[in-house]
Copies of this chain bind each other. A is one copy, B any other.
Amino acid sequence: MNRTYWKLVRRPVGDIAPGDLELVTEALPELAEGQFLLQVIYLSLDPTNRIWMSDMEQYMPPVALGAPMRAGVCGRVIASRKAGVSEGQIMAGLGEWADHIVSDGSFMSPLPQLPGVPLAATYGTLALVGPTAYFGLMDIGQPKAGETLVVSAAAGGVGQIVGQIGKIKGCKVIGIAGGRAKCDYVVNELGFDAAIDYKAEDVGAALDRLAPEGVDINFEQVGGSIMVEVLKRMRIFGRVPLCGLISSYNDVTPTEPPGFWTMMLMRRLTVRGFIVTDFAPRFGESGAALAGWMMGGQLKTRQDIRPGLENALETVKELYSGGNFGKLLIEVSAP
Contacts and interface: CB of A to CB of B under 8 A. Distances in A.
Interface of A: 56-59, 223, 227, 236-237, 242-245, 248, 254, 256-275, 278
Contacts of A254: 262
Contacts of A278: 237, 268
Contacts of A59: 236, 266-268
Nearest to A227: B261
Contact of A268 (B248, B269, B274): B274
B268 A270 contact: no
Contacts of A263: 57
A266 B223 contact: no
Contacts of A261: 223, 227, 242, 245, 248, 256-257
A263 B245 CA distance: 11
A256 B260 CA distance: 7
Contacts of A56: 262
A264 B244 CA distance: 10
Contacts of A272: 264, 268-271
20 contacts: A57-B263, A58-B266, A59-B266, A227-B261, A237-B278, A242-B265, A244-B265, A245-B261, A248-B262, A256-B259, A256-B260, A256-B262, A257-B258, A257-B261, A258-B258, A264-B271, A267-B273, A268-B272, A269-B271, A270-B272
A161 to B, nearest CB: 19
